[in-house]
Amino acid sequence: MAAETLSVRDGGAWKPVIYPWVRDNYEWKQIHKVHVRSGGQWKVAHRTAWGDYTERYNNTYLTGQNITVPAGIHYWKVIIVGHGGGGGGGAGASAHYECNGGSPGNSLHYHVATPTAGGSGGYASAVFEVQEGSKYYWGNTAETTGPAGGAGNSEYFNTNSEESGMTNGYSHAIGETVTGGTGGSYDILFRTDTSVANKGNVSIDANGGGGGSKGTITVSGRCFSISSRVGYTLSNSNSGVGSTGTASVSSTGVIEEQTTTSGGGHPGGSAGSGTYPPTNGSASSGGSGSVQIIQYGI
């Protein structure tokens, strides 16, 4: 949004005033806004643009914070790089005979359900006017601090005599599943503390990438031979790579500039191992998100 402009006549031409000053108690002081009386109301005739101020503070935070706007600061630029979702964990079935034509085969097999990686987090940036004493806070989902999405754990069938095909009974029912763990996902939420005066209630969200999906093995069939050998037909699945994190900016006041990019945050964690046996801890957490605040003022 274009800032209000105050102009002066200089050398026969009207020129915009960038930094207005006033004489106060024998001292020249730079002022942010100039008001004029028009139609019985006070109206803003000039408001110094954020780009005309000097960058005074630039800090990046990895955990939730509460910050009060210091003296001499008139604009904030907030940049949120969302968490990546954690990678999913795989699942595996230990040694077993596979059903072949309704009968158990002659060779032992292993089975693995491969998980997927986590999704990238969202990205948001916004420039807005602030005033001394205003307060803002942020944190992860539900305004609490926490880590980036955790990696899912890998799980697999415990090897026993039945999986090795040496018992007459079935210990696994058709439809039974074994799964790895789903990767975690956390959002970053930035808010105005409405208990004090402010320039408008600002909300900036960068949602975390979705957790990677777990690998799932399902018992879809089983068979038995006259030699007391047990066999299984196993299928594997996952629900795809973790979703991309979105972002949003809203305010009851003026947002000078804003950018939101789905998936523009930190990348998601890698998927767990796709070989047998799946290894606990082989999936990785997504990249840890951050909040950067650049403060502009005198």
pTM check: above 0.85: no
pLDDT higher than 50, residue 146: no
Q: How does residue 4 score in pLDDT terms, banded at 50, 70 and 90?
A: low
- pLDDT (tens digit per residue) in 179-200: 777 888 888 999 998 877 777 7
- pLDDT (tens digit per residue) in 200-233: 799 999 999 988 888 888 889 888 887 777 888 9
pLDDT of residue 110: 84
β-pairing, 135-140 vs 65-68, is antiparallel
Nearest to 206 by CA among 63, 83, 58, 65: 83
Determine if residue 264 is left, alpha or beta; phi over 0 gives left, psi from -120 to 50 gives alpha, anything else beta: alpha
pLDDT of residue 169: 56
pLDDT of residue 165: 42
User: Is the same domain home to 155 and 273?
Assistant: yes
User: Is the same domain home to 73 and 87?
Assistant: yes
Is residue 66 within 8 Å of 138, Cβ to Cβ? no
Domain range spanning residue 39? 1-48
User: Is the same domain home to 237 and 133?
Assistant: yes
pLDDT higher than 70, residue 128: yes
The domain boundary residue, chosen from 48, 66, 83: 48
The domain boundary residue, chosen from 48, 69, 87: 48
User: Is the same domain home to 40 and 153?
Assistant: no
pLDDT of residue 152: 56
Alpha carbon distance 278, 179 (integer Å)? 11
Alpha carbon distance 126, 199 (integer Å)? 14
User: Is the same domain home to 16 and 123?
Assistant: no
Amino acid at 117: A
User: Is the same domain home to 21 and 153?
Assistant: no
- Residue scoring higher pLDDT (153 or 34): 34
Q: How does residue 167 score in pLDDT terms, banded at 50, 70 and 90?
A: very low
Q: How many CB atoms lie within 10 A of CB 3?
A: 19
Question: How many percent of the chain have pLDDT more than 90?
Answer: 29
User: Is the same domain home to 121 and 20?
Assistant: no
pLDDT of residue 215: 86
Query: Rounded mean pLDDT of the chain?
Result: 83
User: Is the same domain home to 155 and 259?
Assistant: yes
User: Is the same domain home to 5 and 122?
Assistant: no
What is the arithmetic mean of pLDDT over 145-170?
A: 46
Helix ranges, the chain (H): none
User: Is the same domain home to 281 and 150?
Assistant: yes
pLDDT higher than 60, residue 263: yes
User: Is the same domain home to 151 and 291?
Assistant: yes
What is the arithmetic mean of pLDDT over 139-144?
A: 54
Tokens 């964690």 locate to 269
- Tokens read off for 16: 């915009």
Helices vs. strands in the chain: H and E counts, helices first: 0, 22
Residues 6+ apart with CB under 8 A from 68: 133, 134, 135
Q: How does residue 256 score in pLDDT terms, banded at 50, 70 and 90?
A: very high
Residue 123, burial from CB neighbour count under 10 angstroms (0-12, 13-18, 19+): buried
User: Is the same domain home to 2 and 107?
Assistant: no
pLDDT higher than 90, residue 7: no
Q: How does residue 73 score in pLDDT terms, banded at 50, 70 and 90?
A: very high
Count of the separate structural domains present in the chain: 2
